[in-house]
């Protein structure tokens, strides 16, 4: 079941002021940018892995407490801070509908090591921060560039799969929702109905944008309780 109504609020977006923070860090300043040159989008609720790290730590990414409080985000920031500053750029071009061929097992959360491996840290198994969800929940995807969607596909890792111990492959996923087209806009809501899931799972959202053959591959960590 899908819901095409606009969401009431937009997510927190990068601010130019964050670039000033990087200016004090010569090593990071060479690679990190406060916002991507061309904006795209991501799942903001339940937050995708890199959007969640940006949302929690974008204003405080130098805080040493992150290593203990949010260790998976800490390693992601250390590996490539652009994975967070460019939280809305995790996509592949020219997929031709061949998702499994373009995105090998173990690399689903990085979109098949897209963008030269920028997002590879998102494939790391571990205790990523989770969003509590019920059996029936709603995905909010923020489309900053108003690309629209040819379709969304939503998967959940099968019961018994342990995201803290291994990166998912395609056989670890169960399709729970597939939509039709969405017209261009900023906020898309996708209603998802499930049953039988408990504990930590990965919700895997595939977004086929309408403006060209461009596909987003987005991992969100959830807790079904």
Position 39 scores a pLDDT of 63
Rounded CA separation 145/64 (Å) = 34
Q: How far apart are alpha carbons 44 and 28 in whole angstroms?
A: 25
Contacts of 17 (CB under 8 A, 6+ apart): 34
**CA distances for 156 relative to 33, 86, 185, angstroms:** 32, 25, 25
Of 24-33, 44-53, 59-68, the one with minimum mean pLDDT is 24-33
Domain boundaries along the sequence of the chain: 26-223
* pLDDT for 224 beyond 50: yes
- Percent of the chain past pLDDT 90, that is, above it, reads 83
Task: Quote the pLDDT of residue 108.
Answer: 99
Q: Residue 18: what pLDDT? A: 37
Report whether pLDDT(219) > 50. yes
pLDDT at 208: 98
Per-residue model confidence as pLDDT tens digits over 163-172: 999 999 999 9
Sign of CA dihedral 208, 132, 109, 19: positive
* CA dist list (Å): 102 to 12, 43, 83, 152: 31, 21, 20, 17
Q: Domain 26-223 is classified in which CATH homologous superfamily?
A: chitin-binding protein cbp21 (2.70.50.50)
Q: What pTM does this model have?
A: 0.85
Burial per residue of 4-33, b for 16 or more beta-carbon CB atoms within 10 angstroms, e otherwise: eeebeeebeebeeebeebbeeeeebeeebe
- Residue 134 is predicted with a pLDDT of 98
């Amino acid at each position: 079941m899908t819901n095409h109504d606009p969401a009431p609020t937009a997510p927190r977006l990068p601010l130019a002021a964050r670039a000033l923070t990087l200016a004090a860090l010569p090593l990071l300043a060479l690679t990190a940018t406060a916002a991507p040159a061309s904006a795209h989008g991501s799942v903001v609720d339940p937050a995708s892995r890199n959007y969640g790290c940006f949302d929690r730590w974008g204003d405080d990414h130098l805080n040493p407490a992150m290593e203990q409080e949010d260790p998976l985000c800490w390693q992601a920031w250390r590996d490539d801070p652009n994975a967070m500053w460019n939280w809305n750029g995790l996509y592949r071009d020219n997929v031709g509908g061949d998702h499994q061929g373009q995105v090998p097992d173990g690399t689903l959360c990085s979109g098949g090591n897209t963008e030269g491996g920028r997002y590879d840290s998102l494939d790391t198994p571990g205790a990523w921060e989770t969003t509590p969800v019920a059996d029936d929940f709603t995905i909010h995807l923020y489309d900053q560039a108003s690309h629209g969607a040819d379709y969304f596909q939503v998967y959940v890792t099968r019961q018994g799969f342990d995201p803290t111990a291994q990166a998912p492959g395609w056989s670890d996923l169960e399709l729970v929702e597939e939509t039709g087209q969405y017209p261009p806009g900023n906020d898309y809501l996708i209603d998802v109905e499930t049953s039988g899931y408990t504990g930590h799972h990965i919700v895997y959202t595939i977004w086929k944008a309408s403006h060209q053959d461009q596909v987003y591959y987005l991992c969100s960590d959830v807790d079904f309780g």
